[in-house]
A and B are shown apart, each in its own frame.
Chain A
Amino acid sequence: MIRLVGVGKTYEDGTVAVQELDLDVQRGELVVLVGPSGCGKSTTLKMINRLIEPTSGQIFIDGQDVTQADPVQLRRGIGYVIQQIGLFPHQKVIRNVMTVPLLYGESTATARERARELLDLVGLDAATYGDRYPHQLSGGQRQRVGVARALAANPPVLLMDEPFGAVDPVVRIRLQDEFLKIQRELGKSVVLVTHDIDEAVRMGDRVAVFETGGRLAQFGTPAQLLAHPADEYVEDFVGATRGLRRLTVTPIDPEHLEPLDGVSTGDLGSAIDVDATLEEALAAMLRDDKPLVGVRSGAQFVGVLTPAGIHRQLRASLK
Chain B
Amino acid sequence: MLADVWGYLTDGSHWSGSTGIAAFLVQQLLLTVTAMVIAMVVGLPLAMYAGHRHRFGFLAVNVSNVGRAVPVFAVLLVLSLGPVGSEEFGPYGRAGLATLISLVLFALPPLITNTYVGITEVDNDIVEASRGMGMGERKVFTSVELPLAMSVIMTGVRLALVQVWATATIAALVAGPGLGRIITRGFANHRTYEVVAGAVLVAVVALLLEGLAVLAERYADPMRRAQRSDRRGRRTTLREEPLPEAVV
- Spell out A's residues near B (CB within 8 Å): 46, 49, 51, 72-78, 80, 82-91, 99-100, 103, 123-124, 128, 131-133, 135-136, 138-141, 149-150, 159, 168, 170-171, 174
The interface centre, meaning the residue of B144, B229, B248 with most chain A CB atoms within 10 A of its CB, is B248
Q: In the complex, what residue of chain B is closest to A100 when comparing beta carbons? A: B133
The interface centre, meaning the residue of B131, B133, B147, B237 with most chain A CB atoms within 10 A of its CB, is B133
**Chain B facing A: main interface SS:** helix
Q: Is the beta-carbon distance between B245 and A89 smaller than 8 angstroms?
A: no
Q: Is the beta-carbon distance between B133 and A75 smaller than 8 angstroms?
A: yes
Q: How far is the CA of A89 from the CA of B123 in the complex (A)?
A: 10
Among B8-16, B78-86, B192-200, B219-227, the one that faces the other chain is B219-227
Q: How far is the CA of A207 from the CA of B135 in the complex (A)?
A: 30
- Residues on the B chain within 8 Å of A170, using CB: 245-246
Q: Is the beta-carbon distance between A103 and B133 smaller than 8 angstroms?
A: yes
Determine which of B129, B135, B223 lies in contact with A82 in the assembled complex, contact meaning CB atoms within 8 Å: B129
Q: Is the beta-carbon distance between A76 and B134 smaller than 8 angstroms?
A: yes
Q: How far is the CA of A36 from the CA of B222 in the complex (A)?
A: 38
Q: Is the beta-carbon distance between A84 and B240 smaller than 8 angstroms?
A: no
Q: Assess whether B148 is interfacial by the CB under 8 Å rule.
A: yes
A75 with B126, Cβ < 8 A, contacts A89-B226, A90-B148, A138-B248 known:
no
Determine which of A51, A131, A149, A168 lies in contact with B128 in the assembled complex, contact meaning CB atoms within 8 Å: A51
Q: Assess whether B136 is interfacial by the CB under 8 Å rule.
A: yes
Q: In the complex, what residue of chain B is closest to A46 when comparing beta carbons? A: B132
Interface CB pairs A-B, < 8 A, 5: A51-B128, A80-B132, A89-B126, A90-B222, A99-B130
Q: Is the beta-carbon distance between B132 and A51 smaller than 8 angstroms?
A: yes
Q: Is the beta-carbon distance between B248 and A140 smaller than 8 angstroms?
A: yes
Q: Is the beta-carbon distance between B248 and A141 smaller than 8 angstroms?
A: yes
Q: In the complex, what residue of chain B is closest to A170 when comparing beta carbons? A: B246
Q: Is the beta-carbon distance between B125 and A171 smaller than 8 angstroms?
A: no
Q: In the complex, what residue of chain B is closest to A141 when comparing beta carbons? A: B248
A82 with B222, Cβ < 8 A, contacts A88-B144, A132-B233, A140-B248 known:
no
Q: Is the beta-carbon distance between A89 and B133 smaller than 8 angstroms?
A: no
Question: B115-129 interface mask toward A, CB cutoff 8 Å, 1 = contact, 0 = none?
Answer: 000000001011011
Q: Assess whether B230 is interfacial by the CB under 8 Å rule.
A: yes
- Residues on the A chain within 8 Å of B226, using CB: 89-90, 133, 135
Q: How far is the CA of A263 from the CA of B125 in the complex (A)?
A: 59
Q: Is the beta-carbon distance between B131 and A51 smaller than 8 angstroms?
A: yes
Question: B19-50 interface mask toward A, CB cutoff 8 Å, 1 = contact, 0 = none?
Answer: 00000000000000000000000000000000
Q: In the complex, what residue of chain B is closest to A124 when comparing beta carbons? A: B248
- Residues on the A chain within 8 Å of B245, using CB: 138-140, 168, 170-171
Q: Is the beta-carbon distance between B128 and A82 smaller than 8 angstroms?
A: yes
Give 9 A-B pairs besides A87-B129, A88-B126, A90-B148 with Cβ atoms closer than 8 angstroms: A51-B131, A74-B134, A80-B129, A80-B133, A82-B132, A90-B225, A100-B133, A128-B240, A132-B233
A86 with B229, Cβ < 8 A, contacts A100-B134, A103-B133, A140-B248 known:
no
Q: Assess whether B53 is interfacial by the CB under 8 Å rule.
A: no
Q: Is the beta-carbon distance between B125 and A86 smaller than 8 angstroms?
A: yes
Q: Is the beta-carbon distance between B240 and A86 smaller than 8 angstroms?
A: no
- Residues on the A chain within 8 Å of B143, using CB: 88
> Which 5 pairs between the two chains have the least Cβ-Cβ distance?
A86-B129, A76-B134, A75-B134, A80-B132, A90-B222
Q: How far is the CA of A45 from the CA of B127 in the complex (A)?
A: 17
Q: How far is the CA of A73 from the CA of B248 in the complex (A)?
A: 34
A73 with B128, Cβ < 8 A, contacts A90-B222, A170-B246 known:
no
Q: In the complex, what residue of chain B is closest to A134 when comparing beta carbons? A: B226
Q: In the complex, what residue of chain B is closest to A132 when comparing beta carbons? A: B233
Q: How far is the CA of A46 from the CA of B132 in the complex (A)?
A: 9
Q: In the complex, what residue of chain B is closest to A171 when comparing beta carbons? A: B245
Q: Assess whether B139 is interfacial by the CB under 8 Å rule.
A: yes
The smallest beta-carbon distance between B32 and chain A, in angstroms, is 30
Residues of B190-246 at the interface with A, using a CB-CB cut-off of 8 Å, are 222-223, 225-226, 229-230, 233, 237, 240, 245-246
- Residues on the A chain within 8 Å of B223, using CB: 89-90
Determine which of B132, B135, B233, B248 lies in contact with A136 in the assembled complex, contact meaning CB atoms within 8 Å: B233
Q: In the complex, what residue of chain A is closest to B237 when comparing beta carbons? A: A136
Q: Is the beta-carbon distance between A76 and B133 smaller than 8 angstroms?
A: yes
Q: How far is the CA of A91 from the CA of B147 in the complex (A)?
A: 10
- Residues on the A chain within 8 Å of B130, using CB: 86, 88, 99
Q: Is the beta-carbon distance between B125 and A133 smaller than 8 angstroms?
A: no
The smallest beta-carbon distance between B112 and chain A, in angstroms, is 23
- Residues on the B chain within 8 Å of A150, using CB: 133
Residues of B142-160 at the interface with A, using a CB-CB cut-off of 8 Å, are 143-144, 147-148
Q: How far is the CA of A93 from the CA of B229 in the complex (A)?
A: 13
Q: How far is the CA of A89 from the CA of B128 in the complex (A)?
A: 14
- Residues on the B chain within 8 Å of A133, using CB: 226, 229-230, 233
- Residues on the A chain within 8 Å of B135, using CB: 72, 99, 103
Q: Is the beta-carbon distance between B136 and A72 smaller than 8 angstroms?
A: yes
Q: How far is the CA of A302 from the CA of B61 in the complex (A)?
A: 75
Determine which of A75, A91, A139 lies in contact with B131 in the assembled complex, contact meaning CB atoms within 8 Å: A75
Q: In the complex, what residue of chain A is closest to B147 when comparing beta carbons? A: A90
- Residues on the A chain within 8 Å of B248, using CB: 123-124, 138, 140-141
The smallest beta-carbon distance between A66 and chain B, in angstroms, is 13
Q: How far is the CA of A124 from the CA of B225 in the complex (A)?
A: 23
